[in-house]
Chains A and B, each alone.
Chain A
Amino acid sequence: MKLRHLKKIRIGVSLLIFALLLLFFLGIEREWLNAASTLLLRLQLIPSILRFLALFFTVSGLGFLLILVLTFLFGRVYCSSICPLGTLQDIFIAAGGRFKSKKKRRFSYSAGSNNILRYSILAATVILWLFGSLFLVNLLDPYSNFGKISVSFMQPAFIFLNNKLALLFERFHIYSIAPLEVKTLPLNVLMVSGVILLTIAGLSLWRGRLFCNTLCPAGSVLSLVSRHSLYKITFKDDACTLCGKCERVCKAECLDSRTKTIDHSRCISCFNCFTACSNDALHYSRLKPSPIARNKEDKAPDKGKRNFLLTLAAGTLSVPLLKNASLAQDLGRPGSIPTGTATPVTPPGSLSFERFTNNCIACYLCVGACPTNVIVPSFFDYGLEGFMQPKLDYHKSFCNFDCVKCTEVCPTGAITRQTPQEKQAIQVGIAHFVQESCIVTIDRTDCGACSEHCPTKAVHMVDWEGLRIPEVRPEICVGCGACEYACPTQPNKAIFVESNPVHLEAVPIQESEGPRDEVLDDFPF
């Protein structure tokens, strides 16, 4: 196979993966899409590592190992084919190219490898993670950012179009397109997602895959491997005419056509250079690199690795200081949050507040997939360390008793998989009734909206001064928030769910022997 075809294959594969993941994030339900997307989620580097650890070395979390092996063999093909944010950047680059002059469309080799910057960021990310905060992962991980962008902007746009189309068909009394409830994320969350999107777009339009070689922690991890990968792109000295075409198409700005060297730690294996070269002057093989390049590599110590190790060490030592100083208050833990302020309710299957915040990378797949829209991104509700991680918001909606959608889609294991039966016995919080602000007490009229919606009848109605008033049986309450959502009092609810920082078990509904036979012998009228 000619090497120039590799680019076409790469484009095809990356667009396919991008399209599948995007459709999945839009909330489209198809069996094949579920299967394909789940497989692709397992291959996302950082989610996979977290999953492997969160689910105690589960086989389904071994995707990262596959990626590392792949990188060791062929370089950072992950960055150019599998990573959806990488493809999004390529789309920006391609789209931007249409509006740029030919000259400005060219890339040129950048001598600065940004090693100090990228490995410092990686080290800081790792250190914060080791100390229990995914703050930097949530801001920098490419998969997580692809998710944030999809759910913040793509899904609302999709729903808007879907509903317009539905409206059009409804005029002819055709109701085959289901109208969807618009998911609008909180404004502050949208703003952060917007800044992320603009940053990604700006960096890619300015200097190609600069994000991948500076800010991206996944890229930095893989760069440590790709330096030593077996198959590398190298120059054939005799065939090269020094025309420089390869350098102009190198998005990673890692190819120096004058010295005929390639910085393999930055090369994302996009194969553009193969297609650009009209003399087939580039190898992609296990052949030993050209003498010049090898000499250079031999002489130069591996600065990247050193930097990484150094920063890691320095960072690790400084974390205790950080914790005691300025970050201490923001990095709130369940115990350190002042009483009176309810901790956010975490999704069923997340097991505890701490476990959830330690494993959720805020990709918002659950936010987009939740059929009742009860899962919404938070801002500082989990403290700075849990920035933007999702929570259940019972003012917007409530958790469907029989639904386990979020437990099925979560890629990191922050929400563990549950069957409906298992989920129905999970108590994520407990309902508390505030009789002093209930309509029945104040207006002296019947209401019962809370009890009506309660799936377990933990909130049930009892006689009270000629009326019916709610009462809570906490042991069978699952904390789904149906009561809180349905409560019509304003501005505060007369019944609300206080979260369980560690999820508990609710007494499940007893097995039924079926309906009683009371067929009427006669009518009572």
Chain B
Amino acid sequence: MDRRNFLRKGFIYTSLAGLYASTLGRIPLLALQRPSVPSIGNYDLVAVRGGEPEAMYKRAMQEMGGMQRFVKRGQRVVVKPNIGWDVPSDRAGNTNPGLVAAIVRDCLAAGASRVFVFDNTCDNWQRCYQNSGIEDAVKKAGGQMVPGNLERYYRAVNILGGKRLTSAKVHEQLLDADVFINVPVLKHHGSTTVTVAMKNLMGVVWDRRYWHRNDLHQCIADFCTFRKPDLNIVDAYLVMTQNGPKGTSTADLSLMKSLLVSTDIVAVDAASTLIFGAQPENIGHIRIANEMKIGKMNLSSLNIKRVAV
């Protein structure tokens, strides 16, 4: 084969391969999976109301284009619920265990090699993992609970985009993960008014006290410049409207039966804040993150799918 022939054949084969990859390789696959949903995954935010957590989640993911859009075969996934408190699931201090399990199952079905679940808890970690019901649910779903109680699990990283938070020790599982799914529960919070997706990320670092000491709202926004979750799923089924973030009894709760999904962490926080009954621009870290262009707080500029089930 001479050089000319080699180049010609090479060009043809490469083009064919490229064509296959860009068209044939994808279109039939998508068409097979969801032939009836044409606008898959085009939404900035999907909001579902009126159902049980798992049913709402299933519907929301359908609208988002399925977990396959976010998790590819063989990838390592970290699911980060809120497991901060030693309270049973009916107190809604932590993310709904059924929802977490459904996400884990979905990730595995999408081909994830492993699904890790952890939180750097506020109360004793073993009691939190156990009493929240999340450990049990995740194990049954085939996921892996990972401890976050020792400093050795955390590696120091620089946060180049941060204003006050310029470095942090981040859990190794998050640093090594291909996909990061953030699953907060919407709750009242004594000092930040609400805690949703952005504030939930305080559970992936070792030293939270530093954040509290150095302008909490700014630090919460700063961390998002380091690693934004690939997907945020907000549990707003049972919403703690007072005495948050731990709550003192079920009297602190309000049954709202909602669930929000978005790739935009600021948008999902803003929408959740409105459901909670507060204004996003009044929440320091949401306003700051919007200004830092981490995401969009103004929901009117977004393509939102609203569903009742």
Interface residues of A (CB under 8 A from B): 163, 167, 173, 175, 178-179, 181, 371-372, 400-403, 439, 443, 445-449, 451-457, 460-461, 468, 486, 488-490, 509-520, 522-525
Contacts and interface: CB of A to CB of B under 8 A. Distances in A.
Contacts of A453: 122, 246
Nearest to B306: A523
Given A403-B127, A488-B210, A489-B213, A515 B191 contact: no
A173 B176 CA distance: 12
B86 A517 contact: no
B217 A446 contact: yes
Given A179-B149, A439-B213, A488-B209, A513 B251 contact: yes
B215 A517 contact: no
A486 B212 CA distance: 10
A519 B255 contact: yes
B38 interface: no
B150 A519 contact: no
A446 B123 CA distance: 21
Contacts of A511: 249
Nearest to A167: B152
B254 interface: yes
Contacts of A513: 250-251
Given A439-B212, A460-B190, A519-B255, 8 more contacts: A175-B146, A371-B127, A448-B216, A489-B213, A513-B251, A516-B255, A519-B50, A523-B258
The 5 A-B residue pairs with the shortest CB-CB distance in the complex, in nearest-first order: A448-B191, A515-B253, A461-B190, A488-B209, A512-B249
Given A457-B248, A515-B250, A520-B258, A179 B209 contact: no
A170 B297 CA distance: 40
B239 to A, nearest CB: 8
B124 A461 contact: no
Interface string B39-82: 00000000101100000000000000000000000000000000
Contacts of A439: 212-213
Nearest to B129: A178
B127 A175 contact: no
Given A400-B124, A468-B190, A516-B253, A446 B248 contact: no
Contact of A457 (B189, B214, B243): B243
B192 interface: yes
Contact of A520 (B50, B145, B210, B249): B50
A525 B253 CA distance: 22
Interface string B271-309: 100110100000010000000000000010000101000
Contact of A515 (B208, B248, B255, B258): B255
Contact of A514 (B210, B251, B299): B251
B228 interface: no
B126 interface: yes
Contact of B49 (A173, A181, A454, A519): A519
B275 A524 contact: yes
SS class of chain B's interface: helix, strand, loop or mixed?
mixed
Contacts of A402: 86, 127, 131
B147 interface: yes
Contacts of B105: none
Contact of B145 (A175, A489, A519): A175
Contacts of B92: 515
Contacts of B175: none
Contacts of B179: none
Contacts of B144: 173, 175
A14 B23 CA distance: 77
Contacts of B126: 178, 371
Contacts of B229: none
A406 to B, nearest CB: 14
B216 A446 contact: yes
Nearest to A454: B246
Nearest to A397: B124
Contact of A447 (B191, B248, B258): B191
Q: Count chain A CB atoms within 10 A of each CB in B50, B144, B212, B238 and give the residue with the most.
A: B212
Contacts of B256: 518-520
Contacts of B145: 175
Contacts of A401: 86
Contact of A443 (B47, B215, B251, B299): B215
Contact of A173 (B114, B253, B255): B114
A173 to B, nearest CB: 6
A517 B251 CA distance: 11
Nearest to A515: B253
A525 B301 CA distance: 11
A175 B146 CA distance: 6
B114 A520 contact: no
Nearest to A520: B49
Contacts of B254: 515-518
B298 to A, nearest CB: 10
B169 interface: no
B255 A518 contact: yes
B207 to A, nearest CB: 9
Interface string B132-166: 00000000000011110110100000000000000
A182 to B, nearest CB: 8
Given A178-B147, A445-B217, A452 B191 contact: yes
A416 B209 CA distance: 35
Contacts of A461: 190-191
A523 B215 CA distance: 32
Contacts of B245: 452
B190 A448 contact: yes
A451 B147 contact: no
A199 B126 CA distance: 38
12 contacts: A173-B144, A401-B86, A439-B212, A443-B215, A446-B284, A448-B190, A455-B248, A515-B238, A516-B254, A519-B255, A520-B258, A520-B275
A401 B249 CA distance: 13
